[in-house]
Amino acid sequence: MLEERPLRPPPAWAWPRAIILVDMDAFFAAIEQRDNPAWRKRPLGITNGAQGTCLITCSYEARAFGVHTGMRLPEARLRCPGLIQVPARPERYAAVSTAIMAALRTITPDIEIFSVDEAFLDITRCQRLLGHPEGVARRVRELVYETAGVTCSVGLSGDKTTAKYAAKLNKPDGLTVIPPWEARERLRAVPVTELCGINQGIGRFLAEHGVHRCGDMARLPISVLARRFGNPGRRIWYMCQGADPEPVLTREAPPKTIGHGKVMPPATRSREVILTFLLHMSQKVGARLRRHGMQAQTFFVGLRADPGWLGDKRRLVRPTDDSRVIAALARAIFLDCWRGEGVHQVQVTALDPAPADYQLSLFEPTPARGEVNRVMDAVNSRYGEFALAPARLLRRSQMPNVISPAWRPYGHRETIGSGSGLGGDNAEGAEAQRRKEIENG
C-alpha cells in the first residue's frame, strides 16, 4: 500500500489566489490583417457583410482617427478617409478562437471562456509547477501569439473583476499586474461603472446612495445592495473593493434560453417579409434544439417596433424541437400582436430548453416529422445551413451570420448567430433585453 505523502506548503512568494484575464486586441481586425498582409498597419473597419453599415470592430490604426465599434460607416469614413471596409468572417474568427482556447488549456485546466476573445485562467493551483504568476502571465501572451499570430492584453490579479479591469489598462499587447493586496487601493478612484457587470441602471442606484467610485463602496452597507439585487448585489460590494468572490467557472451551465434574432430593414411593414424572417428564426431555433438533444415548451416571439417590443410568451401543449411547430406559434403570435407597425427586428426564443423526451403520447401524430427533421439536419450539416429548407426561405434575409456574445467553442453555445446580437443563451434573448431596457430607463 502506497504511503500518503503530506502536501508541501506553497512557495513563500505564491499568491493566495491568482487570476489571469486574456483579452484579444481588436480580435477580428487582427485576424484579417494577419490573413491579408497588405492590410497590416492599415485602418480596417469590420462590418456584418459587404452591405453592413455599422462597424462591428476596427483596427487600432482606425481607432487612432477616432473610429470606434458601433460607429456608422459613413461617419467612420469621414473621420478616416482611408478606411478599408472588410466583411466579417465569423466562422474564421470562431476557428482561431477555438485554437487559442485549446492552447490556453495547456497552461491550466481551470479556464472560463468568457467570450470569443476573452478567457479567465485560474493559476492558483499551478504556481508550484509554473512559477510566479507574473511569469505565467507573460507566457500566456507569448502562447497566444505563437498559436494564432495575433496579440492579446493580459490582466493579472487575485480576482476576476480586478483582472478584467487590469487587462484594459495597457492595450494593445500589454500586461498589467495588480497584486491582490494592492487591489483595493488601486480601484479606489475608479468609477464603479468601469467594472464589468455594473451597468447604467446599477450605476444610477449606487450614485443615489453616494457611491460614484469604488472607494465609496466601503461606506455603503452591503445589506443595501443585497436587498435591492440579492446575491449579485453582494458580489458588487466585494468587486468594488478588489475582492470579487466569484470563482472561475470551468463548466458550462445548461442553457436558460436558446434563441435567434435578426435585424430587419428599418420600419419593415410588409406582412410577408416579417413572416419570412420569423420562419427563418424558427427554423434556426428548432435546428439548434435538435442538435443539442433538447426540446422546449415555452417560447417568446418578439417584434421590435418604434413603440418598443411587441410580442408574447406562450406555452405549447407539449415540448417540441420541430421548427414547423415553432413557426406556427410565431405566426399566431404575430397575427395577434402586429397592427401594421414598422418592424426593425424579430426574435424567437425557447425559454425553457431541457433534455428531450421523445416518448410519444397515445394520440401523438405519426413520428414522420421527426424522421424528416433528422434527414434535413444531416443534409444541412454536410452541405451548409438551409441547403434543405422551406421554399419560403428562398426569400430570407441574406445578411451574414455573426458570432453571438454567448459563443463558446463547444456545447450548446457553439453556434454562429443570425445578426441581431440578441439571440443567445442565458437570457441574452429579446425578452431579457426588454427587462434590461426597463431597468436602465
The catalytic residue positions are 118
326 in Cβ contact with 320 (< 8 Å): yes
Q: Three cell numbers at 300?
A: 417568446
**Which of these, 181, 180, 204, lies nearest to 192 by C-alpha position?**
204
**Amino acid sitting at position 63:** R
Q: How far is CA 39 from CA 42, 106, 171, in A?
A: 5, 32, 20
CB-based contacts of 223, cutoff 8 Å, min separation 6: none
CB-based contacts of 51, cutoff 8 Å, min separation 6: 399
Q: Three cell numbers at 108?
A: 491550466
Residue with cell string 405549447 = 316
Angle between helices 200-208 and 430-440 (to 10 degrees): 30
- Helix residue ranges, H only, 149-246: 160-167, 183-187, 200-208, 222-229, 231-239
**Amino acid sitting at position 62:** A
Q: Three cell numbers at 173?
A: 499587447
Which region holds residue 216: left if phi is over 0, alpha if psi is between -120 and 50, else beta?
Answer: alpha
CB-based contacts of 81, cutoff 8 Å, min separation 6: none
152 in Cβ contact with 144 (< 8 Å): yes
d(CA 271, CA 80): 40
**Which of these, 271, 262, 385, 422, lies nearest to 335 by C-alpha position?**
271
d(CA 211, CA 204): 9
377 in Cβ contact with 390 (< 8 Å): no
Q: Residue 415 in 3-state DSSP?
A: coil
Cα end-to-end distance, the chain, whole Å:
66
